[in-house]
Homo-oligomer: A and B are copies of this chain.
Amino acid sequence: MQKNISFYEAIDFILKSQISLLGREKVVFSDALGRVLAQDIIAKSNMPKFPTSSMDGYAFCFADFPRLLSEGLFLDGDNPAGADVEFSLKPASAIKTFTGSRMPKNSDTILLVEYSVCKEGKVFLSQDAPVIKKGDWVRCVGENYCSGDVLLKRGDFIGAYEIGLLADLNEVFVEVFRKPKVAILTGGSEIIEVGENRDCENMIYSVNNHLLKAMVTSMGGEGILYPIMPDKKETIKELMSEAFRDCDILLSTGGMSMGDYDFTQQAIAELCEVVFKGVRIKPGKPFGYALYHQDQKIKHLLALPGSPNSAALSFYLFGSVVFAKMFGITYEHQVLKAILSEDVIRTDSRMEFRVCDLEIFEGRYYANFSKKRIFQSSVINNLCGKSALVILQENGENLHKGDEVDMIIFKNFL
């Protein structure tokens, strides 16, 4: 077991550990919003299949352009979009053609309705028309995509626009990765469930389990809440064993520091192979990562600190890497630049993820700490709203207002 390692070492240990791909499931494409593709999506035909008009107008052959200017072109009927037949253009003629219509045979250009004048069965160019070029307003075969093009890849996130593309491709059913099942076990003898009524004034409501479940949902997983863990090693072990049976990832919170009542780490040590414990980051120092061997499978335990802020951020920083690996992709935290709105005084040699309000001014990000309460790991309200994490490197120096710093928008999940 590694102890007290750096953030980058911790990420490396997770990337190197054996994390299997999730199983697949088939869903109707329109139910795939927010899921991750488990297959490549390949175009089966060209789009468009035929030269197609992209506007309403008159299809003609550009070789007839001089005649359009002088004698006009004979109007030869309408070619509505979705027509059953392929129209064919006669010499010196034009066919009225609509947005989405297949171009008539022998035609190559669309004269827009607004630049046309019709009289006595003929169409002419209007006087205010701009320059007309061969091929105007005609979409070529395969302009969107060609047969065989890989349009989406395994591991791609399916958002609204991907749903649109799947509809375009007539992919009625698609294979997505199963949602990772995440068991959430939170502990602490001072914790009571939300809504619960207890006389004792020293109790606090269970934040971690609901916070983590919502984060898991936002990351495309399925969170399962277990009863609150008592301060009793054997019961913790039983609960964990039960949870491991049904999940891919187990999250525990609390019980990872040095207190006598911290049985969670003892239970973990007896059940699992602990990869590392302790990371030189703030918040999140007690974070641990362990593997649970079950038959041929390996389940993953993220032992999160007990304070909600620490639990949330260490799950965000490390959990996203585990999730991504299960989806077959390599996740990197998207690091962006922000400008400091005030000086930053370092109080710790650890690498720090210091929460700030993220403001945008003239298109640039600014990190503002003025409305954040002291940077305690228990201040969950700090994480709400438009917040981001300023990354302060290990053993770093104080920074000054106006300096550019690295920042992660921890509101963006996978």
**Nearest CB in chain B: distance from A301 CB, A:** 20
* Residue from B188, B189, B217, B308 within 8 A of A168 (CB atoms): B308
Which of chain A's residues 159-194 have a Cβ closer than 8 Å to chain B?
A: 159-170, 172, 188-191, 194
A33: Cβ under 8 A from any B Cβ:
yes
Instruction: Please state if A33 and B101 are interface contacts (CB–CB under 8 Å).
Output: no
A414: chain B residues at CB < 8 Å are none
A84: chain B residues at CB < 8 Å are 200, 202
Which of chain A's residues 202-261 have a Cβ closer than 8 Å to chain B?
A: 202-211, 213-215, 217-218, 231, 254, 257-261
A385: chain B residues at CB < 8 Å are 156
Stretch of A62-70, A120-128, A291-299, A329-337 contacting B (4+ beta carbons < 8 Å)? A329-337
Stretch of A15-23, A74-82, A264-272, A395-403 contacting B (4+ beta carbons < 8 Å)? A74-82
Instruction: Please state if B168 and A102 are interface contacts (CB–CB under 8 Å).
Output: no
Q: Given A164-B214, A373-B144, A49–B201 Cβ distance below 8 Å?
A: yes
* Residue from B161, B188, B363, B378 within 8 A of A336 (CB atoms): B363
How many copies of this chain? 2
Q: Given A82-B190, A100-B306, A165–B204 Cβ distance below 8 Å?
A: no
* Residue from B215, B312, B381 within 8 A of A151 (CB atoms): B381
Contact with B along A371-387 (1 / 0, CB 8 A): 00110111111011101
A117: Cβ under 8 A from any B Cβ:
no
Stretch of A6-14, A50-58, A320-328 contacting B (4+ beta carbons < 8 Å)? A50-58
Instruction: Please state if A203 and B258 are interface contacts (CB–CB under 8 Å).
Output: no
Instruction: Please state if A211 and B145 are interface contacts (CB–CB under 8 Å).
Output: no
Contact with B along A102-117 (1 / 0, CB 8 A): 1000000000011000
A308: chain B residues at CB < 8 Å are 164, 168
Instruction: Please state if A211 and B167 are interface contacts (CB–CB under 8 Å).
Output: yes
Determine the residue in chain B with the shortest Cβ distance to A197. Answer: B170
Contact with B along A58-98 (1 / 0, CB 8 A): 00000000000000000000101111100000000000101
A404: chain B residues at CB < 8 Å are 363
A interface size (C-beta, 8 A) = 103
Instruction: Please state if B164 and A312 are interface contacts (CB–CB under 8 Å).
Output: yes
A25: Cβ under 8 A from any B Cβ:
no
Instruction: Please state if A167 and B210 are interface contacts (CB–CB under 8 Å).
Output: yes
A218: chain B residues at CB < 8 Å are 33, 159-160
**Nearest CB in chain B: distance from A67 CB, A:** 24
A123–B306 alpha-carbon span in the complex (Å): 26
- The residue among A82, A159, A261, A365 with the most chain B CB atoms within 10 A of its own CB is A82
A387–B165 alpha-carbon span in the complex (Å): 14
A306–B143 alpha-carbon span in the complex (Å): 18
**7 closest A-B pairs (Cβ-Cβ)?**
A82-B190, A164-B211, A56-B259, A337-B363, A160-B214, A81-B190, A161-B383
Chain A residues within CB distance 8 Å of chain B: 29-30, 33, 48-50, 54-56, 78, 80-84, 96, 98-102, 113-114, 139, 143-145, 151-152, 156, 159-170, 172, 188-191, 194-195, 200-211, 213-215, 217-218, 231, 254, 257-262, 306-308, 312, 334-337, 360, 362-365, 373-374, 376-381, 383-385, 387, 404, 406-407, 411
Q: List 15 A-B contacts (CB under 8 A).
A: A29-B194, A54-B376, A54-B377, A82-B190, A82-B191, A98-B260, A99-B306, A114-B258, A160-B217, A161-B387, A164-B207, A164-B383, A165-B207, A169-B205, A170-B194
